[in-house]
């Protein structure tokens, strides 16, 4: 089993103590044992729902999710729920991050494209498990914040781009894995074109209210689509996504 390459140990876990840190800043009370909160999240929310890839579980147990959510919501970072991250967008529920990551079956050498950087949490998880991660965010403030946050935390292999992710990144294609973290009306053609032979794409497809996770596998000659499970994401806006906000 390949363990995630996390760059350093985060101070919060056993040095400063989460509760103290929360009290000091006066914005949110964090669980005192952050590593314990993450382990409980992994066992109760993720493994119990049958995501069993040990390297994915190890990454979820190590990446400090509370560092990615707005200060006033840090105390809720390990809840079984999505949370608002500003600009009407959300950080996905931990389980869905794990399930989508596991669907890519990363082994460490892959080049991965993520669409919808948001706060950068999903990108950080991918960065632990793949060689290079390119992540595109269309909202410039979210992109700038995520880029700074990821760099500050040492995720040097996660590269944030600002732009319309439905176009992909042709200059860096092909990608071994593509993860779309926003709801698409249909699978964007450029992303299919930029998927390597043997590559896997995971994308929520549906209307504004309800979507299903589609897993698309490219073999030398064909594309195979498997529908995995229902989900609910914010909309993918762009040239090959929704043209404007669909009504929810
Ligand atoms: N993966 C993120 C959550 C994503 S929320 C995390 O871990 O926090 C979906 C994000 O997709 C939003 O930030 C939204 O701005 C972005 N988005 C929507 N359409 C997009 C597009 N065409 N290109 C890039 N980003 C897009």
Average pLDDT by consecutive 10-residue portion of the chain (248 residues)? 46 44 58 92 97 97 97 95 95 98 98 98 98 98 98 97 98 98 98 98 95 96 96 96 73
Residue 111: inside a domain, yes or no?
Answer: yes
Catalytic residue among 25, 55, 92, 131: 92
Give the Cβ contact number of residue 114 at 10 Å. 29
Q: Residue 203 domain-assigned?
A: yes
Distance from Cα 224 to the centre of ligand 1, integer Å: 25
pLDDT of residue 221: 87
Tally the domains of the chain: 1
- Note the pLDDT of residue 246: 60
Residue 237 maps to a domain:
no
CA distance 206 to 219: 24
CA dihedral over 192, 199, 82, 146, signed as positive or negative: negative
Residue 63 belongs to a domain: no
126 DSSP assignment? H
CATH number at residue 196: 3.40.50.150
pLDDT at 182: 97
Q: Domain range spanning residue 152?
A: 80-231
User: Which residues have C-beta atoms less than 6 Å from ligand 1?
Assistant: 85, 89-92, 115-116, 118-119, 121-122, 136-139, 142, 164-166, 181-182, 234, 236-238, 241
pLDDT for 15 equals 38
Q: Which stretches within the chain are classed as H helix?
A: 18-25, 34-40, 54-62, 94-103, 121-129, 140-153, 189-193
Domain contains 16? no
Burial 133-171 (b: 16+ CB within 10 A, else e): bbbbbbbeebbebbbebbeebebebbbbbbebbbbbbee
- In sequence order, the β-bridge partners of residue 184 are 205
- Residue with the nearest Cα to atom 14 of ligand 1? 116
Q: Does residue 33 fall inside a structural domain? A: no
Report CA-CA distances (Å) from 152 to 22, 125, 211.
20, 15, 34
Whether 3 is in a domain gets the answer no
Q: Give the pLDDT score at 220.
A: 86
pTM (global) more than 0.75? yes
| Residue 169 is assigned to a structural domain of this protein | yes
Residue 229's pLDDT is 96
């Amino acid at each position: 089993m390949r363990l995630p390459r996390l760059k350093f140990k985060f101070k919060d876990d056993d040095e400063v103590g989460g509760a103290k840190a929360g009290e000091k800043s006066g914005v949110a009370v964090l669980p005192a044992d952050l590593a314990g909160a993450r382990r409980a999240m992994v066992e109760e929310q993720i493994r119990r729902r049958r995501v069993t890839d040990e390297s994915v579980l190890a990454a979820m147990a190590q990446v400090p999710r509370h560092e990615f959510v707005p200060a006033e919501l840090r105390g809720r970072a390990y809840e079984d729920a999505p949370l608002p991250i500003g600009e009407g967008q959300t950080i996905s529920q931990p389980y869905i991050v794990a399930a989508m990551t596991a669907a890519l079956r990363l082994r460490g050498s892959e080049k991965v494209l993520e669409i919808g950087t948001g706060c950068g949490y999903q990108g950080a998880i991918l960065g632990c498990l793949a060689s290079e991660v390119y992540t595109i965010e269309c909202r410039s403030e979210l992109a700038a914040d995520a880029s700074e946050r990821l760099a500050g935390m040492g995720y040097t292999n996660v590269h944030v781009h600002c732009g319309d992710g439905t176009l992909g990144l042709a200059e860096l294609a092909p990608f071994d894995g593509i993860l779309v973290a926003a709801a698409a009306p249909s699978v964007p053609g450029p992303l299919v074109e930029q998927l390597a032979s043997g590559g896997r794409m995971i994308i929520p497809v549906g209307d504004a209210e309800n979507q299903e996770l589609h897993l698309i596998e490219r073999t030398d000659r064909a594309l195979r689509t498997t529908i995995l499970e229902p989900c609910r994401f914010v909309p993918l806006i762009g040239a090959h996504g929704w043209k404007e906000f669909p009504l929810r």
